[in-house]
Amino acid sequence: MLLPIDDAAVAECRAHAMAIATDVQRFIDRHTTVAIERTVLRAFGVDGADPDGVPLVNACVERHRAAGTLGRGIATFLGRRICRGATDAQEAAEAIAYGDELDDGEGGPSTEEVRRALIEPTRRGIERIDAARRHRDADRARLGVGGAPLKYVIVATGNIYDDADQARAAAQAGADIIAVIRSTAQSLIDYVPIGATTEGYGGTWATQENFRIVRAALDDEQDKVGRYLHQVNYSSGLCMPEIAFLGAVERLDMLLNDAMYGILFRDINPRRTLCDQYFSRRVIARAGITINTGEDNYLTTADAIDAAHTVVASQFVNEAFAHLAGLPDELMGLGHAFEIDKSIEDSFLLEIAQAQLVRQLFPRHPIKWMPATKHKSGDIFWSHRVDGLFDLVGVATGQSIELLGMMTEAIHNPYLMDRFIALKGADYVFRACRHLGEEINWKPNGRVVTRAQTVLAEAQELLGVVRAEGMFPAIARGVFADVKRPETGGRGLAGVVERATTYVNPILDVLEGRTP
Amino acid sequence: MLLPIDDAAVAECRAHAMAIATDVQRFIDRHTTVAIERTVLRAFGVDGADPDGVPLVNACVERHRAAGTLGRGIATFLGRRICRGATDAQEAAEAIAYGDELDDGEGGPSTEEVRRALIEPTRRGIERIDAARRHRDADRARLGVGGAPLKYVIVATGNIYDDADQARAAAQAGADIIAVIRSTAQSLIDYVPIGATTEGYGGTWATQENFRIVRAALDDEQDKVGRYLHQVNYSSGLCMPEIAFLGAVERLDMLLNDAMYGILFRDINPRRTLCDQYFSRRVIARAGITINTGEDNYLTTADAIDAAHTVVASQFVNEAFAHLAGLPDELMGLGHAFEIDKSIEDSFLLEIAQAQLVRQLFPRHPIKWMPATKHKSGDIFWSHRVDGLFDLVGVATGQSIELLGMMTEAIHNPYLMDRFIALKGADYVFRACRHLGEEINWKPNGRVVTRAQTVLAEAQELLGVVRAEGMFPAIARGVFADVKRPETGGRGLAGVVERATTYVNPILDVLEGRTP
Amino acid sequence: MANPTGPTGEALHRKRPPHPIRAYGDRMGDGGVQLSFTLPVAAGGRAKEAARRFAEGLGLRSVLVTAMEKAGTEFTFFVVYGRSEVTLDFAEVEVPEVTTPEWTPKEVNTLVKERLGRRVIVVGACTGSDAHTVGIDAILNMKGFAGDKGLEAYPWFDAHNLGAQVDNQALLTRAREISADAVLISQIITQRDVHKENARAFIELARREGFRETLFLLGGPRIDHALARELGYDAGFGPGTRPQMVAGYIVERLLARKEGRP
Amino acid sequence: MANPTGPTGEALHRKRPPHPIRAYGDRMGDGGVQLSFTLPVAAGGRAKEAARRFAEGLGLRSVLVTAMEKAGTEFTFFVVYGRSEVTLDFAEVEVPEVTTPEWTPKEVNTLVKERLGRRVIVVGACTGSDAHTVGIDAILNMKGFAGDKGLEAYPWFDAHNLGAQVDNQALLTRAREISADAVLISQIITQRDVHKENARAFIELARREGFRETLFLLGGPRIDHALARELGYDAGFGPGTRPQMVAGYIVERLLARKEGRP
Ligand code: B12
Ligand code: B12
Ligand SMILES: Cc1ncc(COP(=O)(O)O)c(C=O)c1O
Ligand SMILES: Cc1ncc(COP(=O)(O)O)c(C=O)c1O
C-alpha cells in the first residue's frame, strides 16, 4: 500500500505548520476566556446552578468579566476568598457569584498566599483527571480493545436513556465506539447544561450527568461483550474547555475537539475558540483522551477533489496546535473523509490516494476516517453500497477509527436498524479484506501515486502561503472549507480577555508542567 | 493486476484438456442423438406439432429411433421421401411421422441421390443461420456495445409478455444483456414447446416464439437507449442442439451451453448430453453466438475454496471441447463465480486471485463472472453489500460479462426493483473503480499470488489424473461439484444412437466444413 | 423565448380516465413490496411470528420474513416481503407543482431589464438553529449548483445571503431594509418537524409585521411545493432545485403582478 | 445426558402479562419502518404523491418518500420511511415450535442402541421438479452442515438419500421397501407456492397408500414447523437446521412411541 512520498516535502509542511501555530500560540498565551476560567472553577470542584439553571461557574466568571477583572484569572479571586475564610472552593465561588460585593482584587492576601491556598484544590482537581485516566487504563488493559479500524457509530435520540439503550444495542452488534451527538446548536450556547436530559433536537445535550449515564451503560455492557467500549462526545464550541474537563473526569475516551470546526461551521469567533482549544487540549492531554478533528467537514462545503489539499494542510496545522498543547501523536485523531462526488470516474482511486496519504503522513496518529455524507441519497440501497467501498478503503489503508457510514445519512439520524446494518456490513468487509493493504503495491507514477503526490504538493504550497499571511487572515479569506470568517467576527469574542501580568491559573500551571 | 503465472503449467493444462476432450470426441463422432436428429429436421425447415403438442420433429425422429433405424441419420429418410416425390422437407417429415408405413431404408434412391436432394434444403437451413448472424452483426456495428464488464441481468416472470416489459425496463436502467430464465425443469423434457407462453415456474418456457417476442422488444428498445442489447437463453438439457438452432435463427446473442451442467445438476446422461453439446456448439459457432458455461455452479455444491481448481480444470476441458466443435476463443464465455463463504477472513483476496487467474488463463475469452448465490441471505442489505465487492472484483479484474448479483438472491427471482438496484449499484462501482485494475501490482509471493499459483497447480494435477482415468470415470467418481454421475445413468441415454456406416447428416457436414 | 403566461401555482385538475395501480413486484398487479423494521423484543420464533403479524397489520398478504437478525439483546431487525392489496386510482392523484418557466439566465436578465426595468432584490438565509448553508448557497452564491450559476451571478439581481443560524426577526428586518422582492428560506434539519415550526413561525411574524407584497420561498431536502403552500409560502423547492428555476419563478411572479396577471 | 421427556410438539400456551410492542425506529414506540416498492407509472410529481398515498394506504403516518428513481419509462422505484401505528400484544404471540432434544450424535447413537435396540431407517429426497439437493444433503450426507456430520455418519442410522427431482410416488415406494422410520422431504423452490402443493400432494398420497407409523419431516428455507404441521407433516425444519437436531427429533419421537409417551 505504501505510496512513495517525499520526506523533505513532509518535513517542510511540518515546519510551516509549526510556524503558523506558534504565531497563533503567541496570541493564545496572552489571553484567557470565560470558558477557560469556568473550567478552572470546575477543576477546583465548583458545581451547581441557580434556580434559572445558570451554572455557578458562569455566574462567577461573568461577574468578574463584567467588572473587567477577569484578566487576573478567576483563581485569583477564588484564592482570595479562601484566604479570607471560605471553607472550600464551592463556598468561595458562591460568594463570588452571589455575594453583595465583588472583590476588586485590591489589597491582601498576597499572590503568594493565594497561590498557596490553591495548592490543595489544584491537586484534587488534577487528581480527578488522573484517577479517571487510571480507571480507563485499567479497563482497557483488562478487556482489550477491538481491532482496527475501530467501529464508531453515533446515537442521537435526544433522550439520554434511549441513547444508553441504543449504545448497548450497538455494542452488542459490534460497535467499539459510541458517540452521543449533541443537540443542534448546543455549541453556540455559552454554558454547559446540568443533569440528565430527555429532550434534544438532532442529538442529546452534553451534560456531565449524561456522560455518566452512558458510561455506566457501557461499563456494564463491556463486560458482557468482552471488549472495551469507548464513549465520545463533542467539545468544539463555546464551552470547549469545560466539556473537555467534564469529559476528562467522566472517563470519556474521545472528544471532537477542533477550533476550526467551530469557526467555519458554527461561526464562533476565531480568537475565542483557538484560546479555548489550547486549554481544552491541555486537559485532554492530561486525561489521555483522543481528540477527533473536523477537517472532514471541509469537504461538505468545498469540493472534495479541489479542496483535498486544504484538508491535509489543516491537519498539519492541527497537529502543530496539538503538539503545542502537549498532546502526543497517539492522541490525535485527525479527521478526513470519503467525500468525493460519487458520479466521478475513478473516484475510488482518488479516495484511496487521499486515505493512504493521510495514513502515511500521520503514521502514529489514530486517524479518524469519515464516510460519505454529502453525496449520499435517499436511495438507501445505493448509499449502502457507497458505504461498502468506504469500508474497504478504511481497512485497506489501515485507518484507525472508522465512523461507519449510514445508508440513511441523507434522511435522518440513524435508526437502530441502520446502525445494525452498517455494523454487519463493516464486519463483512473488514474480515473479507483484512490483509488487502499488505498485498497491494501501487503502480509507480500511476493515478493513485500521482494523485497523492499532487495533493501533498498543493498542501505544501498552501502552508507556505498561510505561513506568510498568518492563520487569522487565511481563515478570513476562505482558505478552508470555502468559508470566510473574519478574526473579530462570529460568536463569543466578548468572552476573550487579555491576561493581566498578575494572571493566576494554577490548573494551567500544572497542565503546562510547572509547579503551581 | 497481472499475476505471475507459469506458462509451462498453463500449456500442460491445455495439453491434458485436449487429450481428455479428444478421447470423448471419439465417442461423440461415432454417435448421434434424437436431439441432434431433430435439429437436422429443424434446419431443413420442419416445424409444427400434432394436436397434443408433440412437435413434428419429435414424432419423426422417435419413429425411426423406435424402429432402430436412426443410426443412418434422419436426413437419410427425409431425403428418400423427397426423392420419392415429397414437395418439401415439411411434407416429407409429415409423411415420416404420420405415414402408414415407415421407410426401412432398403432399396432406392441411392445415397448419392439422397444427398443431392438435400443440398438445397441444407443450403437454406444454413443460410437462415448466416442471415441471422449478419443481422446481428449489422445491429452491433450500428449501435455499438456497452463497456466491459457487460451488465447481465435475468428476467423470470413465467410470462413472456411480462418478461419483455421487464427486459425493456432493465435496458432503460442500464442492462446490456437480458437472460430469460427457463421454467424449472424444462431441461428435463425431451422436446421444445411451441408458441408464446404465459405460465412457467421459476422462469419462462424457452420457445422459438418467446425468443422472437423478447428480441422484438429489444430491437425496439436498443434504438432508444442507443446501445446494442443482448438476449440470452438456455440450451443445456435434453434439447441442447435444437435450442441452439432456434437461438441461432432468432438472433440470440448468448446461450448457456454446457453438458457438464446438465450432467451434474440435472442428472442428464453424460453420453447423451456430450454428443448434443458437440452438435449444438457447431451450430453456435456458425451463428456467432457466445456460449456461457456453468462451472460457477460447482461452487454451490462443492466448497469454493477447496474446489476452486476443479472450476479451472473444467474450464480447460470445456475450452478443448469448444475448440473441437470449431468455436473460437472469442465466443467462449467460460463461467466462474464469487462463491467463497463470506465469513472467511481474506475471502476477498481469494476471490480476486481466482478471478484474475481465470482472466489471465483465458485472455481472449468473454469470461462470465457470476455473483455470490449460496452465501447470500434474506438480509438484503448485507447481500447487497456482498454484491458491491463482487462488482469491484469484476471491474478490477476485467471480467467480460458480469451477471449482476441480486440482493434478493436468497429469496425470490428478482423483482423489477431488485434489478434496478443492482444496475445502479454496478454503475457506481464500475465508474468509481474504472482503472483500478491498471493501478495495482500484487505483492510478489503475497497471499493473492500464492493462492492463484496454488489453484493453477492443483488444476494441472487434477487434469493429469483425469487424463489418465478418462472423463467419464472422473465424472462418475464425483471429481466435479462433489456430484457423482455414472456414464450410463441419468436421463436421456435411450436417445443416444450409434451412427451407422451409412450415416447421413448434411447439416453437420457443412458445420464441420465439408461439402455436403 | 417562452412567454410568461398562465397560472404558475397549482396545476389545474384535468379529468383523466381511471387508472388503477398497485405495487409491482415481478408481475403487474402482484402488490409486491419490501419492508424492514425493528421490534423491541429478543430474536426467536415468537419474534419472527410477531414480525409476520406486524406486516399483516400493515395489510400485507403472503408475508415472508426473510431475515431475522439480533440487533441487540432486546431488539430484532427484520426484512419482510409481502403483497399489498392497496390499489390507487392514479388518475385521481394530483399535486400542486410550481411551474417554473424554462428561461436561461440570459433570458431572465433580459426580461428583468426590459419588462421590469429595475434590479430584483432577494435575500436568503438558513434560519433558526439550522447551520446547513450548502443548499441556500447553491441557490444564491456565484458558485451555484451543478454547473448552474447562483443568483449572485445575475447582473439584474441583487442577492444577499445571510448564511446560517439566522433569526427570523433578523431576516425580516434585513428584508425590509433592502426592500427585498423575495425572501428565500432554507430549512434542512427536520427532526421532530422543527423545519415546519420554524418556517411557519417566520410567516406569522411576517404577517404581523405587515409584509404583503414580498414573495416568500421555502426550500430544502424535505420541502415540496405542497408543504410550502400549507405553511403559508408562495412556493416550495425541493432537492435538485437549480438557481435558474428560482430566478425564473421570481421574475415570472413579479412580471405577472406588474402586468396584472394571476 | 438429558432425558427424553415432555411434549415435543407445540409449546404450551402460557399466560404472560400484556406486552404491547410497536416498531422501533429511533425511540421506543415511534413505529418507524422502511419500505421499498415499484409503481407502474412514470416518475414525477404525481408518482411521488402516489407513493405517499400508497404508504398511507398501508397505514403509515409521517410518510417520507426519500427516493424516487426512474426504473424504466413506466416504472418508478421508491424508498419510503414512515411511522406505523400497528401495536401487537407480544404476550399473545405464540408459535408451534419443534422441540429438538439437545443430544450429541454420540448420545443419539447410544439411545438408539440401548433403548430402541435396532438401527433407525430414514430416506430423504428433494421432490417434484426441485433440484436443490444442498439442503437435504446437508442433513443426510456424511459431510453434513457447518461442521455437524449428517445422518449417514451415525452408526445407528441407516440413511438413504435419493437426491433431486424425485417423484412423490417413487419416494413412497422406496420408503416402503426399506421400511423407513422417517421420510425427509426437502422443498426449496417456492414460486407460486409450488412447495406447498407438492408437499401436500405427498402427504395425501401417503395417506392413500396407508402409511400410518412413518414420521414425515419437511424442510427448506421457507419451511417452518407451523407450515409443515398445516401441510400434514410431523415436523418442519427451516434455515440453519443442523443434522443433530433432526436426528434428535426422530429418535425422541421413536422412543416416545415405543415407550407410550405422547
Ligand atoms: C453538509 C452537512 C452538514 C455540514 C453543513 C455545512 C454547511 N455549512 O452547510 C455540517 C458538517 C456542519 C453539518 C452539521 C450538522 N448536521 Co448535517 N448534514 C450535512 C449533509 C451531509 C449534506 C447537506 C447538504 O449540504 N446537501 C447538499 C445541498 C446542495 O442539498 P440541499 O440542502 O437539499 O439543497 C438543495 C435543495 O434542497 C434546494 N434548497 C435548499 N434550501 C433552499 C432554499 C431555497 C429558498 C430554495 C429555493 C431551494 C433550496 O436547493 C439546493 C440545491 O438543489 C446532510 C446529509 C445529506 N446527505 O443530506 C446532513 C444532515 C442534514 N445533517 C444533519 C444533522 C443532524 C446535523 C447536526 C445537527 C448534527 C449534530 N447534532 O451535530 C450538525 C449541526 C448543524 C446544524 N445546527 O444545523 C442531519 C439532519 C437530520 C434531520 N433530518 O433533521 C442530516 C440529514 C444527516 C443525518 N442523517 O443525520 N451537516
Ligand atoms: C445452489 C442453488 C442452485 C443450484 C442447486 C445445486 C444443488 N444440487 O442443490 C443450481 C445452480 C443447480 C440451481 C438451479 C436452479 N435454481 Co437455485 N439456488 C441455489 C441457491 C443459490 C442456494 C441454495 C442452497 O444450496 N442453500 C444452502 C442450503 C444448505 O440451505 P437450505 O436449502 O435452506 O437447507 C437448509 C435448511 O433449509 C434445511 N433443510 C432443507 N431441506 C431440508 C429437508 C429436511 C427434511 C430437513 C430436516 C431440513 C432441510 O437444512 C439445510 C441446512 O440447514 C439458492 C439461493 C439461496 N442463496 O438460497 C438458489 C434458488 C433456491 N434457486 C432458485 C431457482 C429459481 C433455480 C432454478 C429453477 C433457476 C432456473 N430457472 O434455471 C434452477 C433450477 C433448479 C431446480 N429445478 O430446482 C431460486 C428459487 C426461487 C424460489 N423462491 O422459488 C433461488 C432462491 C434463487 C433465486 N433468487 O432465484 N440453484
Ligand atoms: C470537530 C467537530 N466538532 C464538533 C462537531 C459537531 O458539533 P456541533 O455539536 O456543534 O454540531 C463536529 C461535527 O461534525 C466536528 O467535526
Ligand atoms: C450452463 C448452464 N446451463 C443451464 C442452466 C440452467 O438450466 P435449467 O434451465 O436446466 O435450470 C444453468 C444455470 O445456472 C447453467 O449454468
pLDDT digits (tens, 9 = 90+) for A259-309: 999 999 999 999 999 999 999 999 999 999 999 999 999 999 999 999 999
> Which one from C106, C143, C149, C258 is the annotated catalytic residue?
C143
Are C221 and C124 members of one domain? yes
- Say how many Å lie between the CA of residue B472 and the centre of ligand 3: 68
Domain count for chain A: 2
Q: What is the DSSP letter of C91?
A: G
Burial A287-303 (b: 16+ CB within 10 A, else e): bbbbbbbbbbbbbbbbe
pLDDT tops 80 at residue C1: no
CB contact under 8 A, A267 and C165: yes
CB-closest option in C77, C129, C164 to A417: C77
Select the residue from C24, C28, C190, C227 to test the D interface by mutation, using most D Cβ atoms within 10 A. Answer: C24
Check if the beta carbon of residue A190 is closer than 8 Å to that of residue A34: yes
- Say how many Å lie between the CA of residue B150 and the centre of ligand 2: 26
Q: Give the model confidence (pLDDT) of B386-406 as tens digits.
A: 999 999 999 999 999 999 999
Burial D56-75 (b: 16+ CB within 10 A, else e): ebbbbeebbbbbbbbbbebb
Give a yes or no: residue D98 inside a domain: no
Are B231 and B105 members of one domain? no
Are B366 and B262 members of one domain? yes
Give a yes or no: residue B504 inside a domain: yes
Are C111 and C170 members of one domain? yes
Domain that residue C44 falls in: 20-88
Q: What's the rounded mean pLDDT across residues B489-498?
A: 97
Q: Which of A408, A409, A411, A404 is nearest to A426 (CA)?
A: A404
Are B212 and B342 members of one domain? yes
Q: Note whether D45 contacts C: Cβ–Cβ < 8 A.
A: yes
Pocket of ligand 2 (CB under 6 A): B 181-182, 184-185, 202-203, 265, 297, 300-301, 373-374, 376, 409-413; D 124, 129-136, 138-139, 145, 184-186, 188-191, 217, 219-221, 237-241, 246
Of D88, D117, D133, the one marking the end of a domain is D88
- Say how many Å lie between the CA of residue C188 and the centre of ligand 1: 5
Q: Which residues contact D194 (CB under 8 A, 6 or more apart)?
A: B201, D128, D129
Confidence of residue B79 (pLDDT cuts 50, 70, 90): very high
Residue A145: CB atoms within 10 Å: 16
Query: Cell numbers of B499, please?
Result: 451412427
Q: Give the model confidence (pLDDT) of A148-179 as tens digits.
A: 999 999 999 999 999 999 999 999 999 999 99
Select the residue from D22, D26, D68 to test the A interface by mutation, using most A Cβ atoms within 10 A. Answer: D26
Domain count for chain C: 2
Confidence of residue D14 (pLDDT cuts 50, 70, 90): low
Q: Note whether D48 contacts A: Cβ–Cβ < 8 A.
A: no
- Say how many Å lie between the CA of residue C164 and the centre of ligand 1: 11
Ligand 4 atom 1, closest CA: B294
Query: Cell numbers of A433, please?
Result: 479484506
> How big is the B-D interface in CB pairs under 8 Å?
70
* Helix pair A308-324, A7-29: axis angle to 10 deg: 60
Give a yes or no: residue B472 inside a domain: no
Q: Give the model confidence (pLDDT) of A218-255 as tens digits.
A: 999 999 999 999 999 999 999 999 999 999 999 999 99
What is the rounded CA–CA span in Å between residue B390 and residue B380? 15
> Which one from D70, D106, D113, D143 is the annotated catalytic residue?
D143
Are C140 and C225 members of one domain? yes
SS3 of residue D82 by DSSP: strand
Check if the beta carbon of residue D40 is closer than 8 Å to that of residue D27: no
Q: For a ligand 4 pocket test, name from B201, B210, B240, B265 the mutation site with the most ligand atoms within 8 angstroms of its C-beta.
A: B265
Query: Cell numbers of A361, please?
Result: 503522513
Give a yes or no: residue C61 inside a domain: yes
Check if the beta carbon of residue A168 is closer than 8 Å to that of residue A221: yes
Strand ranges inside B352-406, DSSP E: 368-370, 401-403
What is the rounded CA–CA span in Å between residue C178 and residue C163? 16
Q: Which residues contact B402 (CB under 8 A, 6 or more apart)?
A: B149, B150, B151, B152, B368, B369, B391, B394, B426
Q: What is the CATH number of the domain that holds C54?
A: 3.30.30.60
Q: What is the CATH number of the domain that holds C118?
A: 3.40.50.280
What is the rounded CA–CA span in Å between residue B59 and residue B42? 13
Q: Which chains touch B (3 or more CB pairs under 8 A)?
A: A, C, D
CB-closest option in B157, B377, B381 to C27: B157
Confidence of residue B516 (pLDDT cuts 50, 70, 90): confident
pLDDT tops 50 at residue D4: no
Give a yes or no: residue A427 inside a domain: yes
Identify all chain D residues contacting B202, using CB atoms and an 8 Å cutoff: 189, 191
Of D88, D116, D143, the one marking the end of a domain is D88
Torsion of CA A369, A375, A381, A386, to 10 degrees: -40
SS3 of residue B269 by DSSP: coil
Are B96 and B231 members of one domain? no
Q: Give the pLDDT confidence score for residue A108 in this predicted structure.
A: 87
- Give the Å distances, CA to CA, from D130 to A211, D142, D163: 57, 22, 10
Query: Cell numbers of A67, please?
Result: 467588572
Q: CA B277: distance to chain centroid?
A: 9
Select the residue from C79, C81, C83, C84 to test the B interface by mutation, using most B Cβ atoms within 10 A. Answer: C79
Ligand with an atom nearest the CA of residue A237: 3
Q: Give the model confidence (pLDDT) of D198-232 as tens digits.
A: 999 999 999 999 999 999 999 999 999 999 999 99
Query: Cell numbers of D262, please?
Result: 405422547
Q: For a ligand 3 pocket test, name from A183, A254, A257, A261 the mutation site with the most ligand atoms within 8 angstroms of its C-beta.
A: A261
pLDDT tops 80 at residue A324: yes
Of C33, C58, C88, the one marking the end of a domain is C88
Are B70 and B212 members of one domain? no
What is the rounded CA–CA span in Å between residue D88 and residue B248? 58
**What average pLDDT does chain B have?**
97
CB contact under 8 A, A385 and B425: yes
Give a yes or no: residue A453 inside a domain: no
**Max CA-CA distance within chain D?**
74
Domain that residue B434 falls in: 124-447
Half-sphere exposure of D255 (CA within 13 A, CB side): 23
Q: How large a percentage of chain B has pLDDT more than 70?
A: 100
Q: Give the pLDDT confidence score for residue D193 in this predicted structure.
A: 86
What is the rounded CA–CA span in Å between residue C122 and residue A127? 57
Give a yes or no: residue B370 inside a domain: yes
Of A409, A432, A447, the one marking the end of a domain is A447
Are D59 and D109 members of one domain? no
Are B31 and B180 members of one domain? no
Q: What's the rounded mean pLDDT across residues C22-41?
A: 97
Q: Give the model confidence (pLDDT) of B460-477 as tens digits.
A: 999 999 999 999 999 999
Whether B296 is catalytic: yes
C240 CB near ligand 1 (under 6 Å):
yes
Are A288 and A364 members of one domain? yes
Are C234 and C144 members of one domain? yes
Are A113 and A128 members of one domain? no
Q: What's the rounded mean pLDDT across residues A424-453?
A: 98
Give a yes or no: residue A469 inside a domain: no
Are B154 and B31 members of one domain? no
Q: Which chains touch C (3 or more CB pairs under 8 A)?
A: A, B, D
Write the DSSP string, B118-144: HHHHHHHHHHHHHHHHHHHHHHHHHH-
Give a yes or no: residue C25 inside a domain: yes
Are C168 and C227 members of one domain? yes
Are C141 and C243 members of one domain? yes
What is the rounded CA–CA span in Å between residue B388 and residue B369? 14
Give a yes or no: residue C98 inside a domain: no
What is the rounded CA–CA span in Å between residue A290 and residue A256? 9
CB contact under 8 A, A349 and B392: no
pLDDT tops 80 at residue D10: no
Are C136 and C254 members of one domain? yes
Give the containing element (helix H, strand E) for C202: helix C194-208
Give a yes or no: residue B272 inside a domain: yes
> Which one from A151, A342, A368, A376 is the annotated catalytic residue?
A368
Q: Note whether D90 contacts C: Cβ–Cβ < 8 A.
A: yes
Check if the beta carbon of residue D140 is closer than 8 Å to that of residue D121: no
Q: What is the CATH number of the domain that holds B322?
A: 3.20.20.440
Are D136 and D189 members of one domain? yes
Give a yes or no: residue D179 inside a domain: yes
CB-closest option in B342, B424, B440 to A432: B342
Of A428, A447, A466, the one marking the end of a domain is A447
Confidence of residue D11 (pLDDT cuts 50, 70, 90): very low
Are A346 and A289 members of one domain? yes
Are D41 and D114 members of one domain? no
Q: Give the pLDDT confidence score for residue C6 in this predicted structure.
A: 38
What is the rounded CA–CA span in Å between residue A84 and residue A92? 9
Are D77 and D197 members of one domain? no
Q: Give the model confidence (pLDDT) of A362-377 as tens digits.
A: 999 999 999 999 999 9
Check if the beta carbon of residue B234 is closer than 8 Å to that of residue B206: yes
Q: Give the pLDDT confidence score for residue B15 in this predicted structure.
A: 98
Q: Give the pLDDT confidence score for residue B356 in this predicted structure.
A: 98
SS3 of residue B440 by DSSP: strand
Are D159 and D213 members of one domain? yes
Are A420 and A502 members of one domain? no
Q: Give the pLDDT confidence score for residue D261 in this predicted structure.
A: 86
